[in-house]
Amino acid sequence: MQHALGETCVPINPQRVIVLAGGLDTVLSLGVKPIGSTHIDTNRWYYLEDRLEGIESLGNPRSPNLEAITALKPDLILGFEATDKENYVLLSQIAPTVIAEIQGSGDWKKMLNKYAEALGKTEKAKQIMTDYQARIEEFQTQMGDRLSQTEVSILHVEPQLEIYLEDSFPATVVADAGLPRPSDQTSTESTFTMNISKELLHKADGDIIFVWTSGRNEDLTEDVQAALEELKADPLWSQLNAVQQGQVYDVPGYWLGMGPISANLVLGDLFKYLVDSPSQVPQ
Is-above-0.85 flag for pTM?
yes
Q: For residues 91 and 149, state if they share a domain.
A: no
Note the pLDDT tens digit of each residue in 96-150: 999 999 888 999 999 999 999 999 999 999 999 999 999 999 999 999 999 999 9
Domain shared by 154 and 257, yes or no: yes
Residue 229: inside a domain, yes or no?
A: yes
CB 120 within 8 A of CB 78: no
Max Cα distance, the chain (Å): 60
Q: Is the pLDDT of residue 27 over 90?
A: yes
* Predicted local confidence at residue 162, as pLDDT: 94
Q: How many domains does the chain have?
A: 2
Based on the fold, state whether residues 75 and 169 are members of the same structural domain: no
Q: pLDDT of 200-218, one tens digit each?
A: 999 999 999 999 886 544 5
Determine the structural domain holding residue 85 and report its residue range: 2-120
218 and 168 fall within a common domain: yes
Whether 180 is covered by a domain: the verdict is yes
Average pLDDT over residues 232-242: 95
Q: How far apart are CA 127 and CA 123, in angstroms?
A: 6
Q: Does one domain contain both 166 and 271?
A: yes
Give domain status of residue 132, yes or no. no
CATH of the domain at 22: 3.40.50.1980
Q: What is the gyration radius of the CA atoms in the chain, in angstroms? A: 20
Residues 105, 231, 271, CA angle at the centre, nearest 5°? Answer: 50
Tell me which of 105, 120, 135 is where a domain ends: 120
Residue 199 scores a pLDDT above 50: yes
Poorest-pLDDT segment among 35-39, 142-146, 238-242:
35-39
